[in-house]
């Protein structure tokens, strides 16, 4: 499966959503998660993300490992998003910020 990581938080550009052939993305208030039971590893979403938030599970950087479980957990609670929409208002500002995990709204 593919995994959305920290840089998505408070950005939520959603460019990733339009290319997903199986509608695997689930939407929270300020983050998206990929449902591991839907993702077919097509890789298309990776290049779409302007903040490089998406990794193959086996390539997730060490400091982002928590997001593997988070995508699994949150995708079960959140609703499907199947079309790209406007990013969050301060996305460009937050795209430069690291260590945003405490800003994640569940």
Nearest to 98 by CA among 59, 46, 48, 63: 63
- Residue that is written with structure tokens 């609703």 in the block: 79
Binders in 27-66 for ligand SF4, by CB under 6 A? 34, 39-45
Q: CB of 16: closest distance to ligand SF4 in angstroms?
A: 7
Query: Is 30 in contact with 39 (CB distance < 8 Å)?
Result: no
Q: Shortest gap between Cβ of 35 and ligand SF4 (angstroms)?
A: 8
Q: Which residues make up the interface to ligand F3S (CB under 6 A)?
A: 4, 8, 11-16, 32, 48-49, 51, 53-54
Minimum CB separation of residue 12 from ligand F3S in Å reads 5
The Cα–Cα gap between 89 and 68 comes to 26
Task: Check residue 101 for interaction with ligand SF4 (CB under 6 A).
Answer: no
């Amino acid at each position: 499966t593919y995994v959305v990581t920290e840089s998505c938080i408070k950005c939520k550009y959603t460019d990733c959503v339009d290319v997903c052939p199986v509608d695997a993305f689930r939407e929270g208030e300020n983050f998206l998660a990929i449902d591991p039971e839907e993702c077919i590893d097509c890789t298309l979403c990776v290049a779409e993300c302007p903040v490089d938030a998406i990794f193959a599970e086996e390539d997730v950087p060490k400091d982002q490992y928590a997001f593997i479980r988070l995508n699994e957990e949150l995708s079960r609670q959140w609703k499907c998003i199947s079309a790209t929409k406007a990013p969050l208002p301060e996305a460009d500002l937050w795209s430069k910020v690291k260590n945003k995990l405490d800003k994640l709204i569940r």
